[in-house]
Structure 1
Amino acid sequence: MSARFEELAWRETPIGAISLRRRRDPFLDTEVYEVKLDDEYLMSSLFPVAEIELARLGLAALTGPALDVVVGGLGLGYTARTALADDRVRSLVVVEAIEDVIDWHRRELLPFAAGLATDPRTRFVRADFFAAVADGTGLDPDAAERRFHAVLLDVDHSPRQVLHPSHAAFYTPDGLRRLAACLHPDGVFALWSDDPPDADFEAVLAEVFTTARAHVVPFANPLTGGESANTVYVAQTPA
C-alpha cells in the first residue's frame, strides 16, 4: 500500500461495508480523511464546515447555562467536537450505530477530533438513533425519560435520501413528535442535509415545532475550485 493512501479501518455492517481511509492529496498538499459506505462517500475532512455549523447553529439558539446535548451520528467527529467547544455544554451523549466508528475515536485515528473520547463530558452510546426514538427507548439507555436541550443529527444524506429505508419514518410529523418528546421546553433539533432547503420538509417541521428555519451553509470546494453548500435545519420546541 502506497504512503499516499491507507485504509485505516473496514467493517461489514447491516447497512453495508464502512471504511475509514486516509490519503495524501498532492494537489492540495494535505491529508484527507474519508468515510465510505460500500462505494458511496459519506463524509470527508475536506468539507467540515456544515458539520461544524450544525453544532454552532443548533447551540446558538439556546440561552441556558448548562446544556445536555445529543449528537446523532459520530462520523469524523466535527459536530461533537464543536459542541464540546461550547463551555455551556455539561454533557454530550453521542449516539452511533456502528461500534467501529466509536472505536476510531477511542483509538485516536482522527487527529482533528483529538480529545473527544477522553473529555469527561462525552458518553458514547452504541445504538440506532432512529430506532431509539421510534420505540421509546430514549437517547439515554439508562434513563428512557431523560430530556435534552439539543439534538444535533447528521446521519442521512437528507430527509429524502436516507441510508436505510427504516429511517424514512423519522422525517414525518409522527416521527418528529417522538423526537420532540426527548427535548426540554425550548429545546432544539438541528439537522444536517446535503440537499438544498426542502420546503416540504420545512412544512413538516412547522407542524411539530414552534420555529423552524433552514440555513444554507456555503463553503469553498477545493475539488472544483468553486463553492458548494449544505443545509442545516434548526427547529425549536415551545417554551
Structure 2
Amino acid sequence: MDSLDPSTERDLATQALARHDRPRTVLVGGLGLGFTTRAVLADPRVEHVDVVELSAPLVRWARAGLVAELAGLEEERCRLHVADVADVLTGGHEPPGPWDLVLLDVDNGPGFLVHAENADLYRVPGLARARDALEPGGVLVVWSSHVAPDLHAHLQDVAAPGETVAEVPIRVRRDGRSFTYALYVLHRGAAA
C-alpha cells in the first residue's frame, strides 16, 4: 500500500465499472488506502459497496479517520468488514453476496505473494468461488503487480462457455522506470 501512484488501483474500479451496465452492488477485496473503493463510489450507479479487509487495525484507522486517504470512506453506501475475503467468497463469513462486481486486490498477485495463504485466490478453486459470487452478467476483476499468465489461464479454466476472459496490461512510468501491472477480467454470462 502506498499513495505514491494509485492509478492502477483506480483502474481496477474503472475497468470493472465500464464492463457492467448496472453495477449496483460491489465487493472490494482489500481496503488498501481506499483508492479503488473511492473510484467505485464515484459512480452514481453503485448502490452498495462491501469492502472486506483482513487487517482489523486498518479498518479501525479508517473508521477513526487516522489515515487521511481512508477518512470518511465508510458511509451510507459503503460498509467495511474485517474478514478474509476467501471466507466471504465461500459464504463462511459476512457479508453475503452475490454482487454485480467483485474486485480483488488482496496481495501483489500470484507471482509475488506477501501472504502465502492468498495463493488459492489466484488458482482455480479461489477464482471459481469469486466467479460464483457474481450475479448473472457480473464482472470479476483481479489486480496483479505483474503480468501473470497462469492467472489468465486459471480464469479461462473457470469461465463457463460463452463467458469472456481478458488480460489488461497497465504500463506505468514512475521515477524514471517502467512497470507493467495487469488486471484479469472474467465477465460472467447472463442467466439463461
TM-score by length of 1: 0.73
Counterpart of 1:166 in 2: which secondary structure? helix
Give 3-state SS (helix, strand or coil) of 1:89's partner: coil
The residue that corresponds to 1:151 in the other structure is 102
| Partner SS for 2:47 | strand
Task: Report SS of the residue matched to 1:158.
Answer: coil
Is the aligned partner of 1:166 residue 2:109?
no
Give ranges in structure 2 of 5+ residues lacking alignment: none
The one of the two structures with greater contact order (alpha-carbon pairs below 8 A, sep at least 6) is 2
Q: Tell me if structure 1 keeps the 8 A contact 2:63–2:71.
A: no
Does the CA-based 8 Å contact 1:139-1:182 persist in structure 2? no
In the alignment, which residue of structure 2 is the partner of 1:137? Answer: 92
Q: Is contact 2:109-2:122 (8 Å) kept?
A: no
Q: Give the distance between the partners of 1:185 and 1:93, measured in 2 at CA.
A: 18
Instruction: Give the paired residue count.
Output: 187
The one-character-per-residue Cα deviations of 1:22-51 (angstroms, maximum 9, x if unpaired) are xxxxxxxxxxxxxxxxxxxxx211110000
Q: Distance in 2 between matches of 1:152 and 1:192?
A: 8
Letter of the 1:103 partner, please give it.
Answer: R
Could you tell me whether the CA contact under 8 Å between 1:93 and 1:124 is conserved in 2?
yes
Partner of 2:164: 211
TM-score for both structures, normalised by structure 2: 0.89
Q: Name the CA distance, whole Å, in 1 between partners of 2:31 and 2:137.
A: 24
Q: Which amino acid aligns with 1:169?
A: D
Q: Whose helix fraction is larger, Structure 1's or Structure 2's?
A: 2
Paired amino acid for 2:109: S
1:139 positional shift? 5.2
Q: CA RMSD in A?
A: 1.7
Alpha-carbon distance change, 168 to 226 in structure 1, aligned in 2, over 3 angstroms: closer
Q: Which moved more, 1:166-175 or 1:108-117?
A: 108-117
Does the aligned pair in 2 maintain the 1:95–1:139 contact within 8 Å? no
Q: Which residue number in structure 1 is paired with residue 134 of structure 2? A: 183
Q: Which has the larger radius of gyration?
A: 1
Identity, % of aligned positions: 35
Structure 1 or 2: more strand by fraction: 1
Tell me how far apart the structure 1 counterparts of residues 51 and 135 of structure 2 sit (CA, whole Å): 18
Does residue 220 in structure 1 map to residue 170 in structure 2?
no
| Aligned AA (2:61) | W
8 Å CA contact retained: 2:141, 2:184: yes
Q: Which amino acid aligns with 2:86?
A: F
Equivalent residues of 2:27, 2:103 under 8 A apart:
yes
Offset of residue 108 of structure 1:
2.1
Change (3 A) 1:54 1:76: same
In the alignment, which of 61, 65, 86 is matched to residue 19 of structure 2? Answer: 61
